[in-house]
Structure 1
Amino acid sequence: MQEIKSQYNYEQVILWLEKKGGELYGNHFKILESDLPIIYKLIAYFLKDQQTCFQFNINLNKGIMLSGPVGCGKTSLMNVMKYLTPTEHKFYIKPCRDISFEFIQEGYEIIHKYSKGKLYVSEPKTICFDDLGTENNLKYFGNECNVMAEILLSRYDLFTSKKLQTHITTNLSASEIETHYGNRVRSRLRQMINLIAYDKTTKDKR
């Protein structure tokens, strides 16, 4: 584990995060030593600690993709990180499965909703799309649509024009992302996000 030179006291931040996690998820929420390399990167990113992000080769203009096996704690970590983030970088978490169900009910407006904002009003928001890959390709009036691929491509345009950030949690590998969403999405994601990945051998904590 590399030594961190920073204006922030990371050990204190971790104690604070454990306390916050305990409030949200109960006393079984613990930050494991084996997860510290991942957690230091997330703290550096969400505190906008430029010096440490530089050490970790993290680009603060991009979003975060947190990838890792099922049950390693990606969603709960992102939920806790929300409380570290300065107000202007606040984000909310939206499960991809919920978006796919909304698409069945509301159709193509959903793509607009999660990229440009409300219909007729442009108000793009920073969103963490949770569990990318658990949604299915769905049909709306017989037309099949890869909803998340369309949303991510729209958000890429907003990333280039308005610096809009997108965060993602997923248990898919890069090649699985390409299989699910196509080469264009994979290539856009490379430009939009910093990849922070758990080791494939990380045990299920549930």
Structure 2
Amino acid sequence: MKQIQPHIIIEDDRKYVLGELKGNKISYDFERILNYLADKGQQEYGTLFKIHDQDRDILFKLCNYFIKDEANCVRLNMDLNKGILLSGPVGCGKTSLMKLLRLIVPHQKPYRIIPARNVVFGFNHLGYKTIEDYGDSHYVCFDDLGVEPLGRYYGKDCNVMGEIILSRYELFLNHKVKTHITTNLNAQELEERYGKRVRSRMRELFNLIAFETASKDKRR
């Protein structure tokens, strides 16, 4: 990916201008960002990918968060220091959006997207080193939190993702390291799965952005 300025993205023979530079500040255009996301989504997921009208409010929040529009984020009650917890029913587009949104800000520190179940599989193989490894300063998006099995290493059970969230909370407090999460679970289900302590930390770690429970499965 070739880049001239943060708001201008050049890929092969395509040029995407996501806004205008005014002084030393970028004024992003939401419609241009949506067009870019739609184009990139079709390149990544096929021609059936589209930006749905019912998702515009969700995307407006997410885009303002990623471009760090402080005024809009204050108005939308979002804290730019926190990560994103994106929740919603199966197939509503959480994972694909988190993969695409990082592309609109190529000048920012990127985050890796890691399925929560893969983390647990790693724990089952390597043990507690897996939890320690996610205590580093990398930005991470844990995908599909809540579908992973309980970890088990040498006969001992462990709620692996719960422990990792606690570890990431310490990173957030001490080093301002961000964590993002996608999940199909609601707040009550998260508390039932990971406990009150983890749920309490999650309130401090994340901006909660939720799709409507009636959002359709876009993979059908």
Partner of 1:87: 107
Quote the offset at 1:172 in angstroms: 0.4
Matched, 1:197 2:217: no
User: AA paired with 2:65?
Assistant: Y
Higher relative CO (CA 8 A, sep ≥ 6), structure 1 or 2? 1
- The alignment's TM-score, normalised by the length of structure 2, stands at 0.86
Secondary structure at the counterpart of residue 207 of structure 2: strand
Contact 1:64 1:195 in 2 (8 A): yes
Whole-Å separation in 1 of the counterparts to 2:210 and 2:196: 20
Q: Distance in 2 between matches of 1:164 and 1:171?
A: 24
What SS does structure 2 have at the residue aligned with 1:199?
coil
User: What's the counterpart of residue 161 of structure 2?
Assistant: 148
Q: How does 1:5-154 map to 2 (within 5 A)?
A: 7-116=27-136, 124-154=137-167
SS at match of 2:180: strand
* Amino-acid identity (%): 49
State the partner residue of 1:185: 198
Q: Encode CA deviations 1:38-57: one digit per residue, 9 max, x unaligned.
A: 00111001111112212211
Moved beyond 6 Å, runs of 4+: none
Q: Distance in 2 between matches of 1:201 and 1:65?
A: 18
- Which residue type is aligned with residue 92 of structure 1? R
C-alpha distance after superposition, 1:176-197 (max 9, x if no partner) = 1111100010000000100000
Q: Which amino acid aligns with 1:142?
A: G
- The number of aligned residues is 194
CA distance in 2, matches of 1:100, 1:87: 31
Q: CA deviation at 1:90?
A: 1.2
The answer to which structure has the higher strand fraction is: 2
Give a deviation string over 1:152-179, Cα, whole Å, max 9, x none.
0001011000001000000101011111
Q: Which amino acid aligns with 2:79?
A: N
Structure 1 residue runs of 5 or longer lacking an equivalent are 1-5, 117-123
- Report the CA distance between 1:86 and its aligned residue: 4.4
SS at match of 2:203: helix
TM-score under structure 1 length normalisation: 0.91
2:184 is equivalent to residue 176 of structure 1: no
8 Å contact from structure 1 (residues 46, 85) kept in 2: yes
Task: Provide the secondary structure at the position in 2 that maps to 1:69.
Answer: coil
Aligned-residue CA RMSD in angstroms? 1.1
